[in-house]
């Protein structure tokens, strides 16, 4: 009789996910727009099953064997390689990354002009295929200075979409290594990095679509690792880098600062000045894109939908969101919540109350689930694929159309699981919470 061990099931999960991943990558490459979403959704959800099974085993295992870590990294590399070869059929953001990089190589500050500005006409003639697929051509770039430097660095090598996707996939792979180090510093098995490494979310959104959030998340995870290793200055520099790559990272800086000596604070203004200086000539124009994003964007929201319904006003609903997030930040700060746990709580709250929750926004919380494997958030990483229905149902060039019943399928089980988790925590206290504080740095 065969004795099945956890590692046996881990290998089976790996084989199944690789097989499904290859099929998904091939199918996405061959399908047109009208058939992409149904096939993508089916294959994404199918890939979620071996990932969830593998994650369950990884969280339960106490292994730190090199062979297990090699399995996690090997499967992650194979899956990412296949998705790199697909076209970004689910998102066109990567076209803007290449455009911003090429604008800089032309000696132009990317914050000064929108892609359709007459001043950029020569560049449009040079890159017609890139320009044609840029979304919101009338809006200047929204990406912060450090991300602009990354665009410049990437396009110094090549202006191809494949290379831009590969560039951010390298950050993704580096993130897996940093996550394994963070887990080890916390006294947890590095095998848990599987929870992120095998998730369909980064496969599709980074290797497949090339989303740049992974760079900011990489800096955040390395900042958390540096904090656990008591490298104060390093953690502040890396946390600042996360904010300079994506502004949301700045929301987490107070939790690092709460525990650090005043002499380490120099890292924030110095790092900021060094990165912002090359783009300072834009002045207040640098915020035009962000203002447009804040005013115009809304989609796949959950609790924000409730706030908007109760207030009847987008601006009032956003004020409610700002007040709630400020209150949560103050509570976590006052309670001296360590950065790792505080990041998990605040990032989760932001995703719940934000007016826009694109699937790739979940990349911010995805690595932290290796430490805090809450079932609700693991489920949402799978169900968020449903949100792409809005672009599938819309007529090309028209606003996205959200179906309420599909959003209910996406968020309903998530909130049910989240409610059960919070009830369990309230009844039994933190002893039963997944964020077990028995290991790692607590101050």
pLDDT value of position 352: 96
Sorted by sequence, the CB contacts under 8 Å of residue 386 that are 6+ apart come out as 41, 406, 407, 409, 410
Say if CB 376 and CB 289 are below 8 A apart.
no
238 in a structural domain: yes
Q: Which residue has the tokens 């997944």?
A: 434
339 in a structural domain: yes
147 in a structural domain: yes
Cα-to-chain-centroid distance, residue 96: 18
287 in a structural domain: yes
Find the Cα–Cα–Cα–Cα dihedral 298, 144, 149, 229, rounded to 10°: -100
Token readout for 164 is 């831009």
441 in a structural domain: no
With bands split at pLDDT 50, 70 and 90, how would you rate the model's confidence at 104? very high
Q: pLDDT tens digits for 394-417?
A: 655 566 678 888 899 999 999 999
Domain count of the chain? 1
Q: pLDDT tens digits for 30-88?
A: 766 556 667 778 888 999 999 999 999 999 887 667 677 788 899 999 999 999 998 88
How far apart CA 20 and CA 17 sit, in angstroms, is 5
- Cα angle vertex 351, ends 179, 416, to 5°? 100
Share the mean pLDDT of the chain. Answer: 88
34 in a structural domain: yes
108 in a structural domain: yes
Which helix (H) or strand (E) segment holds residue 395: the answer is none
Token readout for 206 is 């980074």
Q: pLDDT tens digits for 124-153?
A: 999 999 999 998 899 999 999 999 999 999
With bands split at pLDDT 50, 70 and 90, how would you rate the model's confidence at 250? very high
DSSP string, 146-181: HHHHHHHHHHHH---HHHHHHHHHHHHHHHHHHHHH
| pTM over the 0.85 mark | yes
Domain around 354: 6-432
368 in a structural domain: yes
With bands split at pLDDT 50, 70 and 90, how would you rate the model's confidence at 265? confident
Highest mean pLDDT among 293-297, 298-302, 422-426: 298-302
**Closest of 362, 17, 374, 351 to residue 214, by C-alpha:** 362
pLDDT at 325 over 70: yes
145-157 and 232-245 helices, crossing angle to 10°: 80
- Find the range with the poorest average confidence among 165-174, 176-185, 395-404: 395-404
Helix (H/G/I), strand (E/B), else coil: 299: strand
């Amino acid at each position: 009789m065969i004795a099945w061990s956890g590692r046996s099931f881990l290998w089976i999960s790996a084989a199944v996910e690789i097989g499904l991943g290859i099929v998904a990558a091939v199918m996405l490459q061959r399908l047109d727009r009208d058939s992409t979403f149904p096939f993508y959704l089916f294959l994404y959800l199918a890939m979620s099953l071996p990932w969830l099974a593998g994650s369950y085993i990884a969280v339960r295992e106490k292994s730190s064997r090199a062979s297990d870590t090699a399995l996690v990294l090997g499967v992650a590399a194979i899956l990412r390689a296949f998705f790199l070869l697909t076209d970004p059929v689910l998102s066109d953001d990567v076209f803007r990354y290449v455009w911003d990089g090429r604008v800089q190589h032309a000696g132009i500050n990317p914050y000064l002009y929108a892609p359709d500005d007459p001043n950029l006409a020569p560049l449009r003639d040079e890159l017609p295929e890139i320009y044609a697929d840029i979304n919101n051509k009338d809006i200047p770039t929204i990406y912060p200075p450090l991300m602009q430097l990354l665009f410049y660095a990437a396009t110094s090598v090549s202006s191809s979409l494949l290379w831009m996707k590969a560039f951010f996939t390298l950050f993704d792979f580096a993130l897996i290594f940093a996550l394994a180090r963070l887990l080890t510093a916390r006294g947890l098995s590095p095998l848990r990095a599987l929870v992120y490494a095998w998730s369909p979310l980064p496969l599709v959104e980074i290797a497949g679509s090339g989303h740049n959030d992974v760079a900011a998340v990489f800096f955040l995870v390395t900042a958390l690792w540096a904090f656990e290793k008591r490298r104060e200055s390093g953690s502040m520099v890396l946390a600042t880098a996360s904010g300079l790559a994506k502004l949301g990272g700045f929301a987490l800086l107070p939790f690092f600062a709460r525990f650090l000596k005043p002499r380490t604070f120099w890292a924030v203004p110095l790092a900021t000045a060094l990165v912002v200086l090359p783009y300072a000539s834009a002045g207040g124009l640098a915020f035009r894109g962000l203002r447009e994003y804040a005013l115009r964007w809304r989609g796949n929201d959950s609790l924000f939908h409730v706030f908007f319904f109760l207030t009847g006003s987008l601006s009032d609903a956003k004020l409610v969101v700002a007040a709630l997030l400020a209150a949560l930040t103050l509570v976590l700060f006052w309670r001296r919540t360590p950065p790792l746990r505080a990041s998990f709580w605040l990032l989760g709250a932001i995703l719940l109350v934000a007016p826009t929750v694109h699937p790739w926004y979940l990349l911010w919380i995805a690595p932290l689930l290796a430490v805090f494997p809450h079932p609700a958030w693991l489920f949402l990483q799978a169900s968020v694929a449903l949100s792409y229905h809005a672009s599938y149902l819309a007529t090309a060039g028209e606003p996205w159309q959200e179906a309420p019943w599909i959003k209910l399928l996406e968020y309903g089980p998530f909130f049910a699981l989240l409610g059960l988790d919070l009830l369990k925590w309230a009844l039994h206290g933190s002893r039963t919470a997944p964020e077990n504080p028995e290991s790692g740095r607590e101050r």
